[in-house]
Amino acid sequence: MGDYEDYARKNFEDNGPKASAGGSNDPAFGVEEAEALNAVNYPSNDRGESIAAESTVQASASAAGVVNTGIALGRGLDVGTANLVSSNQDNAGNVNLKIQRNAFIDIDCDDYTRNMLTRLGVQYVVVNNRMVVVGDPAFELANIFNRNTRRPMKDGMISPDESDALPIEKMLLETLLGQPQQPGEVCYFSVPAEPIDADLNVVYHQGVFGGLIKGLGYDPKPLVEGHAVVFSELAEDDFTGIGISCGGGMFNVCVAYKSIPALSFSTTRGGDWIDRNVAGVLGISSSRACGMKEKGIDLANPQGREEEAVEIYYRNLIAYTLKNIKERFECSSSMPKFPDPVSIVCSGGTSMIGGFIDVFRQEFDKIQFPIEIKEIRHAEDPLYSVSKGCLVASLSESA
């Protein structure tokens, strides 16, 4: 796209993405909770469901607050197929979170559309007579026009089919991370474990994001996504148990004993897999299927054909993940002998749908799991869990 990168950088430096503009002054969670690796408790809607996904702007600390208080050394970054999430801790002991949907859409450039987007406050860049909208506004436009967003990542990794993936990701990282406090500040970023159901490897993906982060002046360090969940959610269990990151492109699994990973793998089925299949059976776009899914469906009590389609594919995905965990346990020679029952913790945006843990428990009860499980629970902070785990690793190294 030629000089896209210069256009994009200048536009976002001047205006910032809509998703992180006008941040709330609501306090972020405190240092004691961060040190204990506990999560933010978000408000609930009238159905008693978490509305973290709907309130990412309010949940994030304002950029102005970060500047005023100063930032502790060490950053965390969740590189997700559906969302990018950065985290840092200010010198007052507050943890600040910023999120941006990892998507964009290009639309025809004409005066009417330009004026409409300007009036609505939607940020865009104009490249080669096409307007490019990034992040949450891109997702909203895709839903309105029943189109699919363009995705810089696919199946948990940088997309080989998207020529504009790298400049888009570079622009978003510049917005989310900003400049380091000092050259070589540590930034742990999430990477998927090697997938077991596809002929893919993470070497190129890890190298690309490591290079982008290094180009901003940070010292990039990769952390397997499931392992980050262990860091953020299993402190009270002595970092022993099973962490599952239920993402848009992949499900990542890590079995750890006292913080040491004994088994890590990923599957290339995630929220996008559900969206594609639901879209296929209902005759709609994947973006619209995703929007329908995020509006508030209870998997334990689906209503109508559309919700039943979502429940069917969710149940299939959960059963598929559990089957693979069981098989890896049974065939691994290095699996530790756990002296006590362990917990399974599910995090990630795909796990935030109503009734997810209920369905997970139902599917778990159908299999003969090889070890004793103490509990199956949701991460307290599903959408930010991976980024928090990366931050914990960064703060520990920077201390």
What region does 350 belong to: left with phi over 0, alpha with psi -120 to 50, or beta? alpha
Q: What is the reported pLDDT for 5?
A: 36
Tally of structural domains, the chain: 1
- Residue 114 falls inside a structural domain: no
- Residue 222 falls inside a structural domain: yes
Cβ proximity of 82 and 101 under 8 Å? yes
Give strand pairing partners of 98: 86
- Residue 121 falls inside a structural domain: no
Q: What is the reported pLDDT for 232?
A: 94
pTM above 0.95, yes or no: no
Give strand pairing partners of 257: 260
Do strands 83-89 and 75-79 pair parallel, antiparallel, or not at all (unpaired)?
antiparallel
- Residue 116 falls inside a structural domain: no
- Residue 119 falls inside a structural domain: no
Reduced to 3 states (helix: H, G, I; strand: E, B; else coil), residue 221 is strand
The CATH number linked to 70 is 3.30.420.40
- Residue 118 falls inside a structural domain: no
Q: What is the reported pLDDT for 177?
A: 92
Q: What is the reported pLDDT for 313?
A: 96
What region does 146 belong to: left with phi over 0, alpha with psi -120 to 50, or beta? left
Q: What is the reported pLDDT for 103?
A: 83
Q: What is the reported pLDDT for 42?
A: 29
- Residue 111 falls inside a structural domain: no
Q: What is the mean pLDDT of each run of 10 residues along the chain (399 residues)?
A: 36 36 29 33 33 31 39 92 90 86 81 78 72 78 75 82 80 88 94 89 92 96 96 94 94 94 92 93 88 85 92 96 91 83 96 95 94 94 94 88
Do strands 241-246 and 342-347 pair parallel, antiparallel, or not at all (unpaired)?
parallel
Q: What is the reported pLDDT for 218?
A: 97
Q: What are the strands, taking DSSP E only, across 123-175? A: 125-127, 130-134, 153-154, 157-158
Q: What is the reported pLDDT for 92?
A: 79
- What range does the domain containing 275 cover? 4-105+133-398
Which tokens go with 83?
Answer: 């969302």
Inter-CA distances, 315 with 59, 82, 269, Å:
30, 20, 12
The DSSP string of 2-22 is: TTHHHHHHHHHHHH--GGGTT
- Residue 125 falls inside a structural domain: no
